[in-house]
Amino acid sequence: MKVSVLIAVKRYNERLEECLAHCLRLTYGDVEILVLPDEAFDHADARVRVIPTGPCLPAKKRDRGAQQARGEILAFLDDDAYPAEGWLESALEIFEGDPQVAAVGGPAVTPPDEPFWRKAGGLVYESLVLSGIYRYRYLQRRRRETDDHPSCNLLVRKDVFSKLGGFDTVFWPGEDTVLCLKIVKELGLKIVYDPRVLVYHHRRPLFGPHLRQIANYATHRGYFVKRHPQTSRRWPYFMPTFLTVSFVAFLLVFLVSLFVRGRLFLPAYFFFLAFLGTYVLAVFLGSLHGRRPALVAVTILGIVTSHLTYGLCFVRGLLVPRLKEEI
């Protein structure tokens, strides 16, 4: 099978050069590399095709790149990610083994040499307390079928992609959710996650860039609860909001109990302490994979602020009539 690697990007940057360097070292022979920037630039290696798209969102860039791709498999990568050895071979083994598999994805793991604040951002995503059942997206976990996988590491059969009209969406993030939903629900085909289909993905540093990304994810997921409920109206996406609302409610009752005498507020006082203690313990245990004390401390703060940010922005997504990217 011929594979077309598609990399959507605004402009040439150092992360893109790192991504291309690893792509050019892939051992699989029949592969082409398409870079989709706003404006054209020259690349020294003739194996890299630069296809300018003009300013547009990643979904539209990928759709335009797919139209010119020659491969039977479209392999989507972010410009700040790069593939591990055996990435394509592992994915193609799955495609060849089952014609019902329309797409294959794998984990996007934090690079081992990431600097402190980016490594901390990765540890927040890797925490079971934050990512829950979706932790496998950030760590190598057991093989499984899925119906929603990020496009930073997603390979799709071109005939399936074309049949669906491509991503065909103005959402970003969320274009991958829309595509995966169509593959599974409309076509009845499979999406397989395999830990061997591995890429390394640079993280946003804590706290500002990381939390802005969390806010964007949460707003879109909250909106998708209304727009695409089949894969977005699931309890794990509601948990940060539940935690945020519960904390605020218990805190208000706790504060009132300090000023109002009577037995009525005494249970609420203890419930608040029990709730807070359980949460703090869970966050602490979920941060220990950072190992170094400084990383553990920062990860704890990162998880708490991520929960609050996601919880509030998820509600925003639920309430807005439409997102600014929607036409």
Domain ranges of the chain: 3-205, 231-319
Q: What is the pLDDT of residues 148-170, one digit of tens each?
A: 999 999 999 999 999 999 987 77
Tell me which residue has tokens 């977005």: 232
CA distance 290 to 303: 12
Spell out, as residue ranges, where the chain has pLDDT lower than 70.
257-258, 260-266, 268-269, 324-327
In this prediction, residue 266 carries a pLDDT of 65
CATH number of 3-205: 3.90.550.10
CA torsion through residues 68, 70, 74, 78, sign:
negative
Contacts of 168 (CB under 8 A, 6+ apart): 59, 63, 178
Q: What is the rounded (10 degree) CA torsion for 210, 213, 214, 215?
A: 120
* Angle subtended by helix axes 235-259 and 266-285, to nearest 10: 140
Are the beta carbons of 104 and 194 closer than 8 angstroms? yes
193: nearest Cα among 83, 74, 105, 92: 105
Q: What is the pLDDT of residues 229-269, one digit of tens each?
A: 988 999 989 999 988 888 887 777 777 766 765 555 667 66
In this prediction, residue 170 carries a pLDDT of 73
In this prediction, residue 264 carries a pLDDT of 54
CA distance 217 to 35: 25
* 3-state per-residue secondary structure call for the chain: CCEEEEEECCCCCHHHHHHHHHHHCCCCCCEEEEEECCCCCCCCCCCEEECCCCCCCHHHHHHHHHHHCCCCEEEEEECCEEECCCHHHHHHHHHHHCCCEEEEECCEECCCCCCHHHHHHHHHHHCHHHHHHHHHHCCCCCCEEECCCCCCEEEEEHHHHHHCCCCCCCCCCCHHHHHHHHHHHHCCCEEEECCCCCEEECCCCCCHHHHHHHHHHHHHHHHHHHHCHHHHCCHHHHHHHHHHHHHHHHHHHHHHHHHCCCHHHHHHHHHHHHHHHHHHHHHHHCCHHHCCHHHHHHHHHHHHHHHHHHHHHHHHHHHCCCCCCCC
CA distance 100 to 191: 9
